[in-house]
Structure 1
Amino acid sequence: MERECIEEGLPTTRPLLLDAQPTPNTIHEISNFNRAARDSSIASVLFLSTFIAVCGSFCYGCSVGYSSPAESGIMQDLGLSLAAYSVFGSILTIGGMIGAIISGKIADVVGRRRTMLLAELFCTPGCLAIAFAKDAWWLDIGRLLIGLGAGLLTYVVPVYVAEITPKNLRGRFTSAHQMLTSCGFAFSYCIGNIISWRTLALLGSIPCLLQLLGLFFIPESPRWLAKRGREKEFEASLQHLWGKNADVSVEAMDIRDIIESFQHNSEGNALDLFQRRYRYSIIVGVGLMLLQQFGGNSGVVYYSSTIFAEADFSTILGSTALAIISVCDRVYLV
């Protein structure tokens, strides 16, 4: 019949669009469009969740950089001796050590989000205790509380961000933890030169409060939910992070396989690390961490204003230079 139509000069009954075949460029454009649509749905939730998480990193950075610009003001206003202020500066490390020891267990038992919530329940009162302190005891208690919270945050924040992020974005998103820590440190160093130590402590509580409130609006880590056997919540959290229209079946299967493999291969205990075959790795790993701490980096950071003053160098200029170097270093690594 088509032949007769052609012979009579009439159009064929077959639509021309059915004969058109997609070109490679068309397929590539469609693929890019679908990927962009998917990434946009992921980005809105991921950016919010990551931002709320790294507010804790910023809080930690502020606490690390606090003692140097606040030193002269605190010693003058409260009449602290050098020894008493040294206790105030160093007690953050003691609290951080305690928090770091228990951080892994707490994060596994109560979840990543609740661990960050617990950390801010330490950090926020700690900042306020310092801001309204009347003597050295309030300063030390506040600093210790911040250390406890910081010890929890330095573990759970990068873990949470890594667990909610797709593989192709994981490296860039987890680097935000170190970046915001350096930004918090630089903030304290720069702003602390022009405001009082009480105001600086109050400003340090803002990211704590922001994370404290924001934690109620972000999902729990899907990997932790899957590890705890909460399947419905696991899929709902993953779907929320990836977008309503995204297919999360492949990612969910990968997470389940990884957790099953981990649980199958984690039947040992901490004493297994002392076996002869692990001796070299343990010595190198722990040795590098010890050398880093024995390098005196914390002492320089906590009391740099005194170091610059003793060297007859401008405290403001030196602190600002350290802040810029810290941020530039993290930007380069990212």
Structure 2
Amino acid sequence: MTGKETSALVDKGALPKIVATNEKGVTMTLPNVEGQPSKSERGKALRQVIAAFVANIGTINTGLIFGFSAVVIPQLQAADTLIPVDESQSSWVASLSAIGTPIGCLLSGYMMDTIGRKKALLLTEIPLIIGWIVIACATNVDMIYAGRVLTGFGSGMVGAPARVYTSEVTQPHLRGMLCALASTGISLGVLLQYTLGAFTSWKTLSAISASVPVVAFVLMLFMPETPNYLVTKNKPDQAMKSLAKLRGSTYNLEREVTQLQTFAQKSNQKKKLTTKETIQA
């Protein structure tokens, strides 16, 4: 292999920089990997962690919904139950949440692009709050049915906005870890439901479960919209303010906004491709 062929296979940008330090030796410094900010370029980590945590509180409800049927059905089938149910009704109580979930999933994608990530997350909490309250106040099995459908609908809505919000407000060195909060929230919800259900009634458990989306809604009011969404809506000034809340005032805000604008322009160009051009690409 010739020297030219060898150099063609080597990415010069990935080679270490050799900087002389003294007469005895040299120091080899690897260049920063593209996309990974150096310590001086990183924003305030705590602010990003808080924003991601708040966005994913709603995912705890998904776990609460999964675990609820295992708690409520044995209590409804007990001899001293307030609302007696047969085997068929028990099956409906366990499965009705799955009817609302896919509808919520489909709607959430449209909502995120239309009204924004933050407002989408706020709206997801409403059917969850109503659903849990309906179950807590239920006097017949039909009310439990309605509550299960509503909570399933809200559960389907929350997944995508929570993950997208997290990925758009965090920097690469934090994104992987914080995007896992959604799965952690679901597991935590199941654990909480099983634990609390061991010594509380299903009505009390429903009331406790209703507090989770309430907390998520209130805290989300104080969170900023994602800079990515604001840039796509041609609101660079608001994107700058959002970044300042997420990264801190000492961070190079202008540079990241410029990067987001460049990415948005490229994305818009790709959207303008015809169906034939897309297939050929």
What are the within-5 Å matches in structure 2 for residues 208-287 of structure 1? 208-267=213-272
Give, in whole Å, the separation in 2 of the partners of 1:98 and 1:168: 34
Match of 2:106 in 1: 101
Deviations 1:48-82, CA, capped at 9 Å, x for gaps: 21121111011111111111122111234211111
Would you say the 8 A contact 1:52–1:210 is kept in 2? no
Structure 1 segments of 4+ aligned residues over 4 angstroms from their partners: 35-39
Residue identity matched to 1:45? R
Q: What is the one-letter code of the residue matched to 2:251?
A: A
Counterpart residue number, 1:309: none
Q: Is the 8 Å Cα contact of residues 76 and 85 (structure 2) preserved in structure 1?
A: yes
Please give the TM-score of this superposition, normalised by the length of structure 1: 0.68
Give the aligned partner of residue 67 of structure 1: 69
1:138 and 2:126 matched: no
2:87 matched residue in structure 1? 82
**Partners in 1 of 2:244 and 2:146 — Cα distance?**
42
Structure 1 gaps of 5+ residues are 1-21, 29-34, 279-334
Pick the structure with greater CA Rg: 1
CA RMSD of aligned residues (A): 2.5
> What do residues 257-276 of structure 1 show as CA deviations (whole Å, max 9, x unaligned)?
2211112112469x88xx7x
Distance in 1, Cα, partners of 2:99 & 2:61? 17
1:256-295 deviations in whole A, cap 9, x for unaligned? 12211112112469x88xx7x99xxxxxxxxxxxxxxxxx
- Structure 2 counterpart of 1:52: 54
Which residue of the other structure, out of 41, 44, 55, is the alignment partner of 1:42? 44
Q: Which whole-Å CA distance do the structure 1 matches of 2:197 and 2:273 have between them? A: 48
Amino acid at match of 2:224: P
Equivalent residue, structure 2, for 1:181: 186
Q: Are the equivalent residues in 1 in contact too, given 2:59–2:185 (CA < 8 A)?
A: yes
| Contact 1:38–1:243 (Cα < 8 Å) also in 2 | no
> Counterparts of 1:38 and 1:259 in 2: how far apart (Å)?
22
In proportion to residue count, which structure has more helix? 1
Deviations 1:156-186 (A, max 9, x none): 1001000100011110110111111111111
| Counterpart residue type for residue 226 of structure 1 | V
Identity %: 23
Using the alignment, how far apart are the partners of 1:267 and 1:89 within structure 2?
A: 45
CA shift at 1:133, angstroms?
Answer: 0.6
C-alpha separation in 2, matches of 1:74 and 1:220: 43
Q: Which of these residues, 115, 119, 124, is aligned with residue 119 of structure 1?
A: 124
Give the TM-score of the pair, scaled to structure 2.
0.80
Structure 2 residue identity aligned to 1:93:
A
